[in-house]
Amino acid sequence: MEIKIGWIGLGKMGIPMSMRLINAGYTVTVYNRTKGKDERPASEGALVASSPADLMKQTDIIVVMVSDDQAVRDIFLGHDGLLNPGCTSGKLIINMSTVSPGISIEMEGLCRQSGNYYLDAPVSGSVKQAETGTLVVMAGGDEDIFNQAKPVFDALSKLAIHVGKTGSGNTMKLAVNLLLGIISQGLSEAVIFTRDHGLQVSDLVDVIQNSAIGSVYTKIKGGAILQDNYQAAFAIKHIVKDLRLAKSAGLNTPLGMTALESFHKAETEFAEEDIIAIVKALKK
């Protein structure tokens, strides 16, 4: 039986991810709250729904990838939302947004009451990984439901892993982004220390990349600093949101709290710039 997929949220990640599913042969129907972003998927064969409720009726698996808890609530419970009274039952809703574990627990309960299924399945990776299908998916929810969704995840990722009960995927993603914030600040502090002592940052990047602490991430972000390129792959405003979510979920450790404070201060001036723009904020 053909599986029809609905996609809600056509941001930087949503467009290439939905395109991956189209190219994998799925019938994909898209919806975006801001009109116009559906043009590219539509040009490649996607259908366009008029509302989340309309999309829910047309598809079997619905993927949601929106900005925050309130956006999730609006998509599920707003006017013509996925779970409006009398909504279709038997559908699987996969929430791939980076949001709080609490909103997933709440939405899973509402899905269950309406006869539907829910997974929280945020991803690690950026636009390039979305385009190439090399994201990492971390999913929370019923393992049997995860296994049913696995072919969809396989079209989007190089690894899809079931990490626990509902909300666990969200918690794991917050842990990953906590480390992302700490590494970004640590690299930036090393750069500042190097500059302050009259040494070449290019030499620092070479040393790091040829040492045990080198990684793809430090190579990319070290290169961005060398090129003075702070165009956002992952904006400072988003790491602030995620670190706040982690704090709400119980984060209370020294490096994490310091990172939250640093990025929060940086957000005033550099909110729309890449996470590694923290190097500019720390130098002020």
Active site residue 173: yes
Backbone angles phi, psi at 29, to 5 degrees: -115, 130
Beta-carbon contacts of 252 under 8 Å, excluding residues fewer than 6 positions away, are none
For residue 240, the surrounding DSSP H or E stretch is: helix 236-248
Three-class SS state of 47: strand
Angle at 104 between CA 103 and CA 108, to 5 degrees: 120
For residue 191, the surrounding DSSP H or E stretch is: helix 168-196
> Which of 35, 91, 173, 241 is an active site residue?
173
CA distance 177 to 8: 23
Q: How far is CA 211 from CA 142, 197, 208, in A?
A: 41, 21, 5
CA distance 266 to 284: 10
Is residue 83 within 8 A of residue 51, CB to CB? The reply is: no
239 CB neighbour count, 10 Å cutoff = 25
CA distance 72 to 181: 24
Distance from chain centroid for Cα 188: 23
Question: Which 8-state DSSP code applies to residue 8?
Answer: E
CA distance 9 to 189: 35
Question: Which residues are identified as catalytic?
Answer: 173
